[in-house]
Amino acid sequence: MKKSHRDDYAALGGILLLALGLILLKTETMSEGVLRALPYICMGLGCGIFGQGMGNIIGARALKNDPDRVKQIEIEQQDERNVTIANRAKAKAFDMMIFVFGALLVTFALMNVDLVVILLLAFTYLFIVFYSVYFRGKYEKEM
C-alpha cells in the first residue's frame, strides 16, 4: 500500500511557518498597522499545522503493526451512536457560539473599538448565521 506523504509535508510546512514567524519577529521590518501581527499569525499557524501533522504521523506509526486495532477504530468512528453524539455536541457548541459571538460584538461596539474590527466581526457573524440558514433550508428540502 502506497504511503501518503501529506502529514510529512504538513509537519514540514508547520516548521517552516514557525521559522518564518520567528524571523519576521526578530527582524521587525513590518512594524506598522496590521502587518505587525503577521509574525504571530505565522507562528500560530505553524504550531497548529506542525502539531496536526506530527499527531497524524505518530498515530499512524503507533497503529502500523496492529490492523485489528485500526479496524476497531474505524468501526467506532463510523458507529451511528458516536456520530450522533458528535453532531449533538457540535450543535450545542454552535448555539452557544452564536450568543457569545453576539455579546462580544456588542461589547466591542460599546468599548469604541476600531470600526474595522467591529465590521470584520459583524460580517463574520452574519456569514456564519447565513451559512447555517442556508444549510437548514437545504436539509429541510432533502428530508
Q: Over the stretch 11-49, which tens digit does the pLDDT of each residue have?
A: 999 999 999 999 988 887 666 776 778 888 899 999 999
The total number of structural domains that make up the chain = 2
Q: Using one digit for the tens of pLDDT, what is the confidence trace for 9-21?
A: 999 999 999 999 9
CB atoms < 10 A from the CB of 10, how many? 20
User: Are 73 and 134 in a shared domain?
Assistant: no
Residue that terminates a domain, selected from 38, 61, 78: 78
Own/partner long-range contacts of 116-125 (Cβ < 8 Å, ≥24 apart): 125/101
Range of the domain at 30: 1-78
User: Are 12 and 69 in a shared domain?
Assistant: yes
Residue that terminates a domain, selected from 78, 100, 124: 78
User: Are 86 and 60 in a shared domain?
Assistant: no
User: Are 86 and 34 in a shared domain?
Assistant: no
Quick check: pTM over 0.95?
Answer: no
User: Are 70 and 85 in a shared domain?
Assistant: no
Residue type for 85, please? Answer: I
